[in-house]
Chain A
Amino acid sequence: MEAPPVSVMPVTGGAINMMEYLLQGSVLDQSLESLLHRLRGLCDNMEPESFADHELVYLLKGQQGNPFLLRARRSLLHPPAPWHLRYLGQPEVGDKSRLALVRNCVDVSASHGLPEVLNEMGFRMDHEFVAKGQLFRKGGMKVVVSKLSRVLVPGNTENTEPLSLSYLVELSVLAPAGQDTVSEDMRSFAEQLKPLVHLEKIDPKRLM
């Protein structure tokens, strides 16, 4: 069968070309309290948001090339809340002088039929985990301190086991492409968290 003509459709809505600027680090369980205390002092004057999310990582394997990866998250604390679907592009390479990891990012809020639709689209769940922690904000910056747990029985988020004896710390900003000054702000904020936590630009490919 001949394929119908293909073209890129004009996007009517949505925010195209948003980038995620990211710095990552970790703290041991016993140092958590001092980090949280420091963050309460440095961040915007509000109670940090507690969250417990179940994240499912889906892969779509094509005939060639890398599989396409999507992350679907749902809140365990607010089950009626929409699902959060996230696409993250490959980290931008070439600019070693950049202070943070920069990658394309598309965030979509979706209704609860999401897993069924992803399955129908050909996506298969690769792995899942539970992230529990707290979210701090400082202006446009987001600091997420979370404990990642492995799901022991597929789909059962009650039955989990911590992945490690530490907490993941992520400092991120969402901004349109080309706003590299945000990474400088992030860097100076990260400086203020030393020596409690060292936030660094980590290339996810290095970890694979």
Chain B
Amino acid sequence: MGVTCVCQVPVSEGKSVQQTVDILHKKLEQLGAVKQGNFWVDCETYHATGNATGQPSKLLYVMHNSETPLSCMALFEGGPGLSADANFDVLMVKLKSHFQNAKGHKVESRGVRYRYCDFLVKIGTVAMSSSARGISVEVEYCACVIPGDCWNLMKEFMQSFLGSNTPELPTVFTSKAEGLSVPVDCMDTMSQYLELFGRVRKQQVLPGSGVR
């Protein structure tokens, strides 16, 4: 894998989520990007049912990514995270008397995966309880794992189809103590999705936005 950048693209004025997604698809195809299957990223929320110490507990997020289908990522917002094999899901079932799955909070992003030379672009519709809440765009530069070395190139590429919606360098990279020269891993991508999903969760439902 390479350096990734995940951002939210606002729905164009007067357009629906689907129409905005279609516009992005068209722009990418005009650039010469080729469709290469679909992708999905999902996020389950778990909350502790109560601990003996009585201190408030944080929410635990368990995420999956079609790019790493045999893995499962467990994260705390702004806190530690781990990647594990799919048996972690089985473990969460065993833990259900201590951690409850807040079913209504499940967020996922699904969409089309494009390849443009060394870049992978994933345009997804972010949905919560099957109502579309927004659009996610993930850009991955597969040829490099050091954010500091390729960010300018990635930014320039994103400007070509996102225009003024091009994001700044993700905070997941800037907040690392070791700086921009440490290699990225799959957790960096997932933290960015988690941040995006958190924003989307707080957002109002878009009118007339049923998906699928």
**Cβ-defined contact, B91 with A106, below 8 A:** yes
**Cβ-defined contact, B94 with A110, below 8 A:** no
Once bound together, how far apart are the Cα atoms of A100 and B144, in whole Å? 52
B100 neighbours in A (Cβ, 8 Å): 3-4, 6
Once bound together, how far apart are the Cα atoms of A116 and B81, in whole Å? 8
Q: Choose from A13, A61, A107 the contact partner of B51 (Cβ within 8 Å).
A: A61
Q: Choose from B64, B80, B93, B103 the contact partner of A120 (Cβ within 8 Å).
A: B80
Once bound together, how far apart are the Cα atoms of A11 and B89, in whole Å? 6
Once bound together, how far apart are the Cα atoms of A104 and B100, in whole Å? 21
CB-CB nearest in chain A for B96: A8
With an 8 A cutoff between CB atoms, is A207 at the interface? no
With an 8 A cutoff between CB atoms, is A108 at the interface? yes
With an 8 A cutoff between CB atoms, is B79 at the interface? yes
Once bound together, how far apart are the Cα atoms of A176 and B48, in whole Å? 30
Chain B 41-81 per-residue mask, 1 if CB under 8 angstroms from chain A, else 0: 00011011111110001101000100001101010100111
Q: Choose from B45, B52, B76 the contact partner of A63 (Cβ within 8 Å).
A: B52
We find that the number of chain B residues with CB closer than 8 angstroms to chain A is 46
CB distance from A62 to the nearest CB of B (A): 6
Chain B 26-51 per-residue mask, 1 if CB under 8 angstroms from chain A, else 0: 00000000000000000011011111
**Cβ-defined contact, B103 with A12, below 8 A:** no
Once bound together, how far apart are the Cα atoms of A184 and B80, in whole Å? 45
A9 neighbours in B (Cβ, 8 Å): 44, 89, 92-93, 101, 103
Q: What's the interface size class on A, roughly?
A: 35 or more
Interface of B is mostly: mixed
**Cβ-defined contact, B91 with A13, below 8 A:** no
**Cβ-defined contact, A122 with B44, below 8 A:** no
With an 8 A cutoff between CB atoms, is B98 at the interface? yes
A175 neighbours in B (Cβ, 8 Å): none
**Cβ-defined contact, A109 with B76, below 8 A:** no
Q: Choose from A63, A65, A89, A108 the contact partner of B85 (Cβ within 8 Å).
A: A108
Most buried by A among B47, B57, B89, B104: B89
Give residues in A with beta carbon < 8 Å to B: 3-9, 11-16, 60-63, 65, 68, 85, 87, 89, 104, 106-114, 116-117, 119-122
30 CB < 8 A contacts A-B: A3-B47, A4-B102, A4-B105, A5-B102, A6-B101, A8-B93, A8-B96, A8-B101, A9-B89, A9-B93, A9-B103, A11-B89, A12-B86, A13-B69, A13-B86, A14-B85, A14-B87, A14-B89, A60-B95, A63-B49, A65-B97, A89-B94, A109-B85, A111-B84, A112-B82, A113-B82, A120-B58, A120-B80, A121-B60, A122-B51
